[in-house]
Amino acid sequence: MAKIKTVYEDCDILVVGGGMAGTGAAFEARHWGRDLKIICVEKANIDRSGAVAQGLYAINCYMGMQWGENQPEDHVRYARNDLMGLVREDLGYDMARHVDSSVHMFDEWGLPMMRNEKTGRYLREGKWQIMIHGESYKPIVAEAAKKSADKIYNRVMITHLLMDESKDNRVGGAVGFNMRTGNFHVFRAKAVIVAAGGASHIFKPRAVGEGMGRTWYAPWSNGSAYALPIAVGAKMTQMENRIVLTRFKDGYGPVGAYFLHLKTYTQNANGENYEEKWYDQTKELVGDYIDHTPVPTCLRNHAFIEEVKAGRGPIQMVTTEAFQDPHLEEIGWENFLGMTVGQAVVWASQDIDPKYTNPELTTSEPYVMGSHATCSGAWVSGPEDLSPPEYFWGYNRMLTVDGLFGAGDTVGGSAHKFSSGSFTEGRLAAKAAVKYIEDLKAEDINVSEKQCEDFKEVIYKPLENYTIGQNEITGGTVSPSYILPIQGLQRLQKIMDEYVGGVGVNYMTNDNLLKRGLELLATLQEDLEHIGAEDYHQLMRAWELKHRTLTSQCVTEHTLFREETRWPGYYYRGDHMKLDDENWHCLTVSRRDPKTGKFTLEKAPLYHIVDEKEENESA
Ligand SMILES: Cc1cc2nc3c(=O)[nH]c(=O)nc-3n(C[C@H](O)[C@H](O)[C@H](O)COP(=O)(O)OP(=O)(O)OC[C@H]3O[C@@H](n4cnc5c(N)ncnc54)[C@H](O)[C@@H]3O)c2cc1C
C-alpha cells in the first residue's frame, strides 16, 4: 500500500462521469459558477465514453417548440402513458421545457443535423425524434465540457463518495483510483453531481461466452450511478422498473428508425400479425392501459414474449419490402453504421441481407437505467415552481443527501430523457449545485485524512487478495481463497436471471424467488470481500462488480415490495399477475441504512401535474 501514490484535488463541484449528463453538468456549472473550481472524473475517456461513445443516429427527445410541434405537457403525457401511469411529472416537465435549447447548442457546436428539405426544420424520425449524422456526437459535447471544467480526469474510476464529518448526511467529495497508473485519487468537493450512467450486465445476457460484451446497453455501464448514492443512504425510486428492449437479434441494433422511418413491421414465423392476437389476454392483465395510444412499450414486448412462448417464433422484422427502395435501403444500413456497427457485422457474418431476408428480433435481458424508456434511479428534489412538497427539498435534482446531485441515468422517475434530456438534466443539476454553494450550504465541510485512508485500504484490497491467494494455486484460475471479477459477475447474473426475472425464466419471478435471491445476493456480497484482482484493470472490474451487486440488491428489494405486475413485458410477479391501480398507483422509494446494510421501503404519492384529457393524442 505504501507504494500507491495519493493525489488530492479540492474543488467546488465534482462531476462523476463524463457522459451525456456529465458533460452537460460541466458546461452549465461554468456558466453559472464563473469562479468556481469544476472537476470532472471519468472512468474511460470523455471523448468516447458512455452510452453515446459510438455515436447515435437520432436525438430521441426534441420538442420542436419553436415550430409548435410539441409542448412539454405533451411529453409528460407521452412518458406517463409509456410507463403505465407512473412517472415524476415535475421532473419530466422540467427537462422537456429546457431540452430544445440543448439541442440548439449541439447544432451550433457543429453536430450534423438532418433537415427536412421542404420545411427547413430538423428532420423528424418520429414525434419526438430528430435525425442526425451522429458519429461525432460524443466528441462534440466532450469538447464543451473540456472547455468548461478546470480539469478532466480520464481513466479514474470513482468507487466511494466521501461524507462530511461535521454535519450529518452531507456529501464531502469522492475517492477512486486511476486504472492505468494505480494512483489513489481524493476529490474533496462542496457539491457532487453523480452522472455515471445506467447498469448493464446485472442480469445474465443472452449473448454469453464469445459474445459476452454484446449487450444492448453499453457493457461498461456498471451501476455506479446507483451504488454510489445507495452506499451513503440516499433514497432510490422505481428500481423495480427495469427495461427490456425488442431489438435485432444478436447485434442489438435499434429498431426505432426501422419502425418510424422505414415503416417496417413485425410478424411471427407464419407471417401473421401477432400483436392483435394478445389483446384480450393483455386487457385481462392491465385493463384500459392496452387501449392507450401509442401502446406502451412493455405491452408490445408482452405480446412478443407470449407469441414466442406459444411456439410461433422467431419474430421477424419485415424489411424485404422497404429495402426494395434504394433510398430506404441506404438509410437502413446507415442507421447502424452511425451507432451500432456491430449489427451490420453480425448480419454480414450470418449471411443476412435484409433486402432478401427478414431479420429476427429478440427481447433483451433487463437493464436498469433512468434515462431511457424506464424510471429507475435516485429520488431527487424537483424544481421549485413545479414540485409538490413531497417532491421538493430545496435544490433541483438534489438527492436526499445534502450536496449530492444527480442527472441522466442516475435520476429516477423521469423516463424518456435520452441523450439530449440527460445532457439537459446535467445542466439543471449543475445550476442548482452552483446555487447550493452560493447559498453557503457547503461551508466548513470536514473530510478527515482517516476517512480517505480507510477507503484507500478497502479499494486496493482485491490486489492484496490476489497477490497472497495466487500462491495457493499452481495453474488455472480457480483459487480456494479468492474469486475473480468474471466469476463473481457470472454468479451475479445467474442469481438475477433465475430469481429476479431474467431471460432464462421468461422474466417471471415471485415473492419466494425474490426472497431466495436476496439471500444469495447477501452471500455474494460476503464473498466479494475476497475478490482478487491481478492488475489495475481487474481492480476496476472488481469495483464494477461490487457496484453492480449493490444495485442488484436494491432492484430485488424493490421488485419484492411492489406486489403487482405493473409492466408485463418488462417483468412478471407470478403471485400478483395483474396491474393493481388501487394499491400500487404510487412510486416506490427505498433507503439502505449505510450502517446495517438493511433496506427499508415505502410508497410515495404520485401526483399528476399535467391533465389527462389529451392523453391519447400522443403518437
Ligand atoms: C444502445 C443505445 C442506444 C441509444 N440510442 C439513443 C438514440 O438513438 N437517441 C438518443 O437520444 N439516446 C439514445 N440512447 C440513450 C442515451 O445514450 C442515454 O440516455 C444517455 O447517454 C444517458 O446519459 P448519462 O450521462 O446518464 O450516461 P452515459 O452517457 O452512459 O455516461 C455515463 C458516464 O459515466 C462514466 N462512469 C461510469 N461509472 C463511473 C465511475 N464509477 N467513475 C467515473 N466514471 C464513471 C461512464 O464511463 C460514462 O462516460 C441510447 C442508449 C443506448 C445504450
pLDDT digits (tens, 9 = 90+) for 285-304: 999 999 999 999 999 999 99
Stretch among 285-299, 335-349, 544-558 having the lowest mean pLDDT: 335-349
Measure CA of the first residue to CA of the last residue in the chain; give whole Å. 58
C-alpha cell recorded at residue 398: 438534489
Q: What's residue 105's pLDDT?
A: 98
pLDDT at 63 over 90: yes
Q: What's residue 188's pLDDT?
A: 98
99 close to ligand 1 (CB < 6 Angstrom): no
Assign 341 to helix, strand or coil. helix
Q: Are 460 and 4 in contact (CB under 8 A)?
A: yes
C-alpha cell recorded at residue 99: 431540452
Average pLDDT of span 608-613: 85
Question: How many residues does the structure list for the chain?
Answer: 619
Q: Report pLDDT digits (tens) over 121-154.
A: 999 988 999 999 999 999 999 999 999 999 999 9
pLDDT at 348 over 70: yes
Buried/exposed code over 381-390 (b: 16+ C-beta within 10 A; e: otherwise): bbbeebbeee
d(CA 499, CA 135): 39
Q: Which atom of ligand 1 is nearest to the CA of 200?
A: 53
Backbone φ and ψ for 55, nearest 5 degrees, come out as: 105, 170
Atom 30 in ligand 1: residue holding the nearest Cα: 50
pLDDT band at 619 (very low <50, low <70, confident <90, very high): very low
pLDDT at 81 over 80: yes
**What crossing angle do the helices spanning 224-231 and 536-561 adopt, rounded to 10°?**
70
25 close to ligand 1 (CB < 6 Angstrom): no
pLDDT band at 254 (very low <50, low <70, confident <90, very high): confident
Atom 35 in ligand 1: residue holding the nearest Cα: 17
pLDDT at 401 over 50: yes
Atom 15 in ligand 1: residue holding the nearest Cα: 418
Assign 191 to helix, strand or coil. strand
Q: What's residue 169's pLDDT?
A: 98
Average pLDDT of span 512-528: 98
* Residue to mutate, 422, 424, 540, 548, ligand 1, most ligand atoms under 8 Å from C-beta: 422
Q: Which atom of ligand 1 is nearest to the CA of 20?
A: 25
What is the Cα 582 distance to its own chain's centre?
A: 29
422 close to ligand 1 (CB < 6 Angstrom): yes
Q: What's residue 617's pLDDT?
A: 42
Q: Which residue, 349, 517, 125, 516, is CA-closest to 134?
A: 125
pLDDT at 1 over 80: no
Tell whether pTM > 0.95: yes
Start-end of H helices in 397-440: 418-438
Q: Report pLDDT digits (tens) over 354-363.
A: 999 999 999 9
223 close to ligand 1 (CB < 6 Angstrom): no
d(CA 193, CA 176): 15
Mean pLDDT of the chain: 95
Q: Report pLDDT digits (tens) over 10-48.
A: 999 999 999 999 999 999 999 999 999 999 999 999 999
pLDDT at 2 over 60: no
6 C-alpha to center of ligand 1: Å?
A: 29
Beta strands in 102-217, from DSSP E residues, in sequence order:
130-134, 151-153, 156-163, 171-178, 184-194
Assign 142 to helix, strand or coil. helix
Q: What DSSP string describes 565-582?
A: -SSTTT-EETTS-S--HH
Q: What's residue 153's pLDDT?
A: 98
172 close to ligand 1 (CB < 6 Angstrom): no
d(CA 375, CA 416): 9
What is the Cα 230 distance to its own chain's centre?
A: 15
Specify the amino acid at residue 145. A
Q: Are 214 and 376 in contact (CB under 8 A)?
A: no
Average pLDDT of span 418-425: 98
418 close to ligand 1 (CB < 6 Angstrom): yes
d(CA 598, CA 588): 16
Average pLDDT of span 265-279: 95
DSSP code of residue 127: S
Q: Report pLDDT digits (tens) over 179-220.
A: 999 999 999 999 999 999 999 999 999 998 888 888 888 889
Residue, of 100 and 134, whose pLDDT is higher: 100
Q: What's residue 502's pLDDT?
A: 98
* Residue to mutate, 15, 40, 56, 337, ligand 1, most ligand atoms under 8 Å from C-beta: 56
Q: Which residue has the cell 472488481?
A: 542
Cβ neighbours for 37, distance < 8 A, ≥ 6 positions apart: 10, 11, 12, 13, 150
Atom 50 in ligand 1: residue holding the nearest Cα: 51
455 C-alpha to center of ligand 1: Å?
A: 27
421 close to ligand 1 (CB < 6 Angstrom): no
d(CA 199, CA 426): 18
Q: Are 21 and 155 in contact (CB under 8 A)?
A: no
Q: Are 50 and 471 in contact (CB under 8 A)?
A: no
Q: What's residue 536's pLDDT?
A: 97
Q: For the chain, what percentages of helix, strand and coil (3-state, to nearest 5) are there?
A: 40, 15, 40
581 C-alpha to center of ligand 1: Å?
A: 32
